[in-house]
Amino acid sequence: MSPRDIRCEEVIEQLFDYLDRELDEEMQHRIERHIEHCRDCFTRAEFEKRLRRRLGETSRVAAPESLHRRLREVMESF
C-alpha cells in the first residue's frame, strides 16, 4: 500500500463530493482507484449511485442535507 493510497474512512467521508465530482482531480482519482480495489467502498458507492439515479428520476433537485445524514447513518450501520 503506497502512501498515496487513502483509507476507507476517507473515501466514505468524501463519497458524496466524489459522486458530485466536486473534488480536485487527484482526490477524485485516488478514490476511484480505491473503489476499484475495495469491495466495501465499491458497494457503498454503488448503493449511493443507484439511490441518486432513482432520486434523479423523480426530481433534479439535490437531496436535502437531512437525507444525506440519514444515508450516512444507513451506510455506517452496514
Residues that bind Zn ion (CB under 5 A): 8, 38, 40-41
Helices (H), 3-60: 8-13, 15-19, 25-37, 39-58
Minimum distance, C-beta of residue 38 to Zn ion, in the bound complex (Å): 3
Minimum distance, C-beta of residue 64 to Zn ion, in the bound complex (Å): 27
Long-range contacts from 58-63, C-beta under 8 angstroms, 24+ separation: none
Minimum distance, C-beta of residue 40 to Zn ion, in the bound complex (Å): 5
Q: Which is nearer to Zn ion, 34 or 71 (CB)?
A: 34
